[in-house]
Amino acid sequence: MTQVHCDHCGQPFRVRRIEEDRDYYCCAGCALRARVPVDRDGNYPVNADLISALAVGFLYFNQLLDWGLGALVARQGKALLAHRFAFGGVVLAAAVWVGLVWLERRAGPLRGKDYLVTAVSFLLLAASFQSSLPAPAYLAVGNGLLLIWSFRGVFRPAK
């Protein structure tokens, strides 16, 4: 394993092999910051990376919204509607997880820690079907964990 430095934040990390003319990023957040440059006026260009990140954020927001609406409707005694909201939340949770894995894959080389956090978040999603606790809590925590891990470099300053 060879040590390289993130092209955005400068943090060292290890990769299996180095390829010529390739940028290396420590996380999807650093890759996003490097691929979506801000001009002097503070404007962001519209590109595929920005749209992908915004779409994942939108899906996660709607997953949490389905959780909240399902809980409110369940308190009113409308079990069928609450079940539909819960099903929508599960579908959105799966879409968020797949989107985050895809964004991580696009960011560059994945390390053992990335695979571990992805597996733990998947296990939390899978545990939501086996638990007596509210399933949306596991779905939200699992995707939230992966979301924070994937985009941890967004707030790091550029080197």
Ranges of each domain in the chain: 47-150
pLDDT tens across 122-140, in order? 998 888 877 655 678 888 9
The pLDDT value recorded for residue 42 is: 78
The pTM assigned to this predicted structure is 0.83
Average pLDDT over all residues of the chain: 87
- Work out the pLDDT band at 87, boundaries 50, 70, 90: confident
The pLDDT value recorded for residue 131 is: 62
Which long-range contacts link 57-62 to residues 24+ away (Cβ below 8 Å)? 59/92, 59/95, 59/96, 59/99, 60/92, 60/96, 60/143, 60/144, 60/147, 62/92
Instruction: Count CA atoms within 13 Å of residue 18 on its CB side.
Output: 10
* pLDDT of 83 higher than 90: no
The pLDDT value recorded for residue 134 is: 64
The pLDDT value recorded for residue 109 is: 64
